[in-house]
Amino acid sequence: MNKERPQSEPVQATEYTFICEVLQAESDAINRISHQIESNHATQEQWSKAIDILEACTGHVVFSGMGKSGLVGAKLSATFSSIGQPSHVVHPAEALHGDIGSIKKNDVVILMSYSGTTEEVVNLAAILRTDNVPRIGISSSGDSPLAKLCDVHLSTGAITEACPLNLAPTASTTATLAVGDALGLAVSRRRNFSADDFHKHHPGGMLGTGLRAIMEILRFKVGDNLPTVHESTSVGDALLAARPAPNKRRAGAILLVDDNNKLVGIFTDGDLRRLVIDDKQPMIGEIGKVATSNPRRLLTSALVRDAKQLFTEHRVDEIPVVDEENHPVGLIDVQDLIALKVVAE
């Protein structure tokens, strides 16, 4: 019979302190790089040159590094691909045994080695220099062998690892990752990479869903299954006008317009319930006087993430969608976003 395991001891305060120290060490490593860029003109020139090289790249951005640096390169390659820059990874040891054939002259190779002395990475840099392939190096020192073999070198500076033994690559790999992210985002900024561009490369998951056009998910549309009435219409007549046609789903609101067919209000199921409770003759009065005036709305150019933000911040169940002249086009219901799993029930 198995003995029941004792419950684990609560995490001690000293462990919390240690965890905070690790996070602080990694944060400090990034902050030092940021300070160096802000305060040193030569460093700024190196960064600008690196971004120039990447912006001009007509091939792939290739990442290469040994060990943890190689794993960082794999993540950075995925990031570059998602922001519109084709990218792949080449292992430096495998490159020296044939895989260098996957690197073309119109590619840019980013070589990473914290020490700047990793043999396989340095050897690959030397071959690429002979082949005139553009090279960007990332290491701790501008005097490293890797730095001297690259067209541009970005220094992380000397970093004390978060590891208490100062051995396991921790803060140094975080710093390298941050440098790569900054390069990629700076290039995408230069190229005016948009949310639509990102959606083309990342159509799946919550990110992709949030970047879908609101018009793609519109179920309730004016002229089909969404009624609009003039603001002077009586409540009773408005409700009659809002009766759904056979086999049509009823919207949870009626949109109110003025003489120019511009949106001026919304009358929801909640408004109707309150009216019935508070008014002895709820069907007689003008709907514009009991509706919600000047409701929050979305333009037809909005994205799903914009709708999510409105629902989350303002706790509304229906949001009108209008064109640029404020003419109602449709209605987004919170159930639409629940179905997309971008908001919780």
Statement: residue 83 has pLDDT above 50 = yes
**Residue 5: its pLDDT value, please?**
47
* 198 confidence band (pLDDT: 50, 70, 90): low
Which residue, among 230, 184, 20, has the nearest Cα to 87 in the 3D structure? 184
Tell me which of 115-124, 202-211, 268-277 is least confident.
Answer: 202-211
pTM: 0.66
Q: Rounded distance, CA 80 to CA 269, Å?
A: 47
Identity at 271, one-letter amino acid code: D
- Tell me the domain boundaries of the chain: 14-193, 214-340
Helix orientation angle between 171-190 and 67-82, rounded to the nearest 10 degrees? 20
**Residue 246: its pLDDT value, please?**
72
**Residue 186: its pLDDT value, please?**
94
Statement: residue 335 has pLDDT above 50 = yes
Q: Rounded distance, CA 204 to CA 300, Å?
A: 22
**102 DSSP 8-state letter:** G
Kindly report, residue by residue over 34-44, the tens digit of the pLDDT.
999 999 999 99
Kindly report, residue by residue over 200-259, the tens digit of the pLDDT.
655 556 566 777 888 888 888 998 888 899 999 998 888 888 887 777 777 888 999 999
On the 0-12 / 13-18 / 19+ scale of CB atoms within 10 A, 265 is buried
* 122 confidence band (pLDDT: 50, 70, 90): very high
The encoded tokens of residue 135 equal: 């090279």
Q: Pairing between strand 292-293 and 298-299?
A: unpaired
Q: Which CATH superfamily is domain 14-193 in?
A: Glucose-6-phosphate isomerase like protein; domain 1 (3.40.50.10490)
Tell me which of 40-54, 122-136, 264-278 is least confident.
Answer: 264-278
Which residue, among 189, 179, 183, has the nearest Cα to 61 in the 3D structure? 183
Statement: residue 6 has pLDDT above 60 = no
On the 0-12 / 13-18 / 19+ scale of CB atoms within 10 A, 259 is exposed
* 272 confidence band (pLDDT: 50, 70, 90): confident
**Residue 1: its pLDDT value, please?**
46
The encoded tokens of residue 63 equal: 């990442």
Q: Which residue has the higher pLDDT, 273 or 99?
A: 99
The encoded tokens of residue 322 equal: 């209008």
On the 0-12 / 13-18 / 19+ scale of CB atoms within 10 A, 167 is exposed
Strand blocks (E) in the chain = 61-65, 87-89, 108-112, 135-139, 152-155, 220-221, 228-230, 253-257, 263-268, 292-293, 298-299, 318-322, 328-333
For domain 214-340, is the CATH number 3.10.580.10? yes
Tell me which of 33-47, 75-89, 204-218, 293-307 is least confident.
Answer: 204-218
Half-sphere exposure of 110 (CA within 13 A, CB side): 32
The encoded tokens of residue 156 equal: 């992380």
**Rounded mean pLDDT of the chain?**
88
